[in-house]
Chains A and B, each alone.
Chain A
Amino acid sequence: MTEPQIKQANLAVELRNLNKWYGDFHVLKNINLQVQKGERIVICGPSGSGKSTMIRCINRLEEHQQGEIIVNGIHLTEDLKKIENIRRNVGMVFQHFNLFPHLTVLENCVLAPIWVNKESRKDAEANAMKYLERVRIPEQAKKYPGQLSGGQQQRVAIARSLCMNPDVMLFDEPTSALDPEMIKEVLDVMIELAQEGMTMLCVTHEMGFAKTVANRVIFMDAGQIIEENNPHEFFDHPQHERTQLFLSQILQH
């Protein structure tokens, strides 16, 4: 049994028989997923299929009732220390950006590095400027989120997560709240990030993005993983009827 053990060490995220209920409603049914370090995974599916819920379980924004979640070798339990440990290493980008409106862009970026990772303000700010340059908005550092466009805000949100030097990045429909002409600037940043080898789990319907960067595409419906494959196979030869229907609907126009 040496092979699985070697594989184990390379796993960034592992979900084993994950089950979750909202009250009586069974949202996640026996999810099994292994994400290797450096792997880029795109998760798609109709609304209500549980895809957002699944990635929100990984950093415990949602609580699961059954099964195991292992992030970088840490078993996620109710233990607050472990939860904080995982959150420190897992960045998350939200659909509605969720920047802190009372803080400037720079303050948004340095808050967690200073108060969670205990970096000095000087180091944190230098690091933050580096990431703001990477998402191409260093000149907005002194502005407040309310003064920026949606695309700019989402790029700041990505920079804010990167400032924590995460091992894994979770994207929860990062472009669905954006105007069409702003989607590209955010996707470009995400593609660069993928090319640098970041482990990424993206819930998104941007199929072009999936084709460009994903190692694997996962299709979910009714709380289950219906199908997973490399993007080439996934788009050209979907195995499952439900997947075919879904793809025909979103690729129609």
Chain B
Amino acid sequence: MKYAIEAALPPPPNTVGVLGWMRRHLFNGPLNSVATLVIGFLAVYWLIPVVQWMLIDADWVGESREACTSGGACWVFISTRLDQFLYGFYPSGEYWRLNLSFIMLAILTAWLMLPNMPFKGWASFLTLVIYPIVTFYLLTGGAFDMPAVDTHLWGGFSLNLILAVIGIVAALPFGILLALGRRSEMPIVRSLSVVYIEIWRGVPLITVLFMASVMLPLFFPEDISFDKLLRAMIGIILFQSAYMAEVVRGGLQAIPKGQYEAADALGLSYWKKMIMIILPQALKMMIPGIVNTFIALFKDTSLVVIIGLFDLLAIVQAASNDPDWIGYATEGYIFIALMFWIFCFGMSRYSQHLERLLHTGHGGRN
């Protein structure tokens, strides 16, 4: 018997494309159609004035508030003070030092994070050992013909970045030690780690910063005075290592028992087993968790305002109180929100990308 293969027909036009999508998702029933129309109306009703104010009517160029005449947003407020918002009171001739350290950081992270890059071992060594030393001299100065810049001049968005990056990088080793301690078979080590983690996780960061800045000096002789930024830094690191410990613990628990047993059976000591077998595998699984903690910490860094450090939030607030610019606080806050959002959204996308990569790459290389 013969049969003819029927020609493939295109799907009905109202099930595919934009129209089909709208039918299925926006208008699949009377209730949904009404909801779509109401929400659509509200969105347009609110969005048009916002766009009008932020973009169409806005003033972009100028030197002072005299340039803001159109009634829209006055971005001149941001542009004239952008340097201050980004670099704080850092001497303007020395901005390149901040820029250089962030560029180096970006290159090193890209090197570490992008798959298939060669010499990852060297990159981690550079990032974790050489880079901090170089950056320390670069930012504080006082050596190699660079004038010293006191930390009370540091501020703006670069201060948020510095606090968050140092906080995360320094908290990682402590977090690993605490997580190993929490899983230890030695009761004293285990209890100490649990107590430490639970105490710090139960305290808000703002309290920690307050303690670091107000109470810490009380415990030291009067002639020893810590740098204010250093105190905040120590507080953040102690606080963050507790969170990091929990992220690391999650990673350690995800490693199959067989890996521990195989390492034991080969006669590897506890530390060799952890450093060469368990942690390299666990760290890979922890990257999304670490990025997550980093985003949380990054936003929390604006809390340093209560101990008198001028991060982005504080410096924009101060600028909007300047008699020359009274009345433009809204623009300032939108700018702050946008800066934080761009960075956090970027990191969150990256972490999602990594999660997908780790899922598909299961059992394979990298």
Contact = CB atoms under 8 A, between A and B. Distances in A.
Interface in A65-80: none
Contacts of A161: 265-266
A146 B363 contact: yes
B264 interface: yes
Contact of A112 (B259, B268, B362): B268
A84 B266 contact: no
A61 interface: yes
Contacts, number: 66
Given A94-B258, A96-B258, A100-B277, A61 B264 contact: yes
B72 to A, nearest CB: 55
B267 A164 contact: yes
B145 to A, nearest CB: 44
Contacts of A146: 362-365
Interface string B86-114: 00000000000000000000000000000
Contacts of B266: 87, 111-112, 116, 160-161, 164
A231 B268 CA distance: 36
Interface string A84-125: 100110111010101111100000000110011000000000
A143 to B, nearest CB: 9
Interface of B is mostly: helix
A144 B267 contact: no
B265 A84 contact: no
Contacts of A88: 267
Interface string B39-76: 00000000000000000000000000000000000000
Interface string B247-262: 0000000001011011
Interface size range of chain B in the complex: 20 to 34
B267 A101 contact: no
A147 interface: yes
Contact of A61 (B261, B268, B276, B277): B261
A164 B269 CA distance: 15
A98 B237 CA distance: 36
Given A102-B284, A146-B363, 9 more contacts: A59-B264, A61-B265, A84-B267, A87-B264, A94-B262, A96-B258, A111-B268, A116-B269, A164-B266
23 contacts: A59-B264, A61-B264, A61-B265, A84-B267, A87-B264, A90-B265, A92-B265, A94-B265, A96-B258, A98-B259, A100-B262, A100-B263, A100-B281, A101-B281, A101-B363, A111-B276, A115-B276, A116-B269, A145-B363, A146-B365, A147-B364, A147-B365, A161-B266
Interface of B: 256, 258-259, 261-269, 272, 276-277, 280-281, 284, 362-365
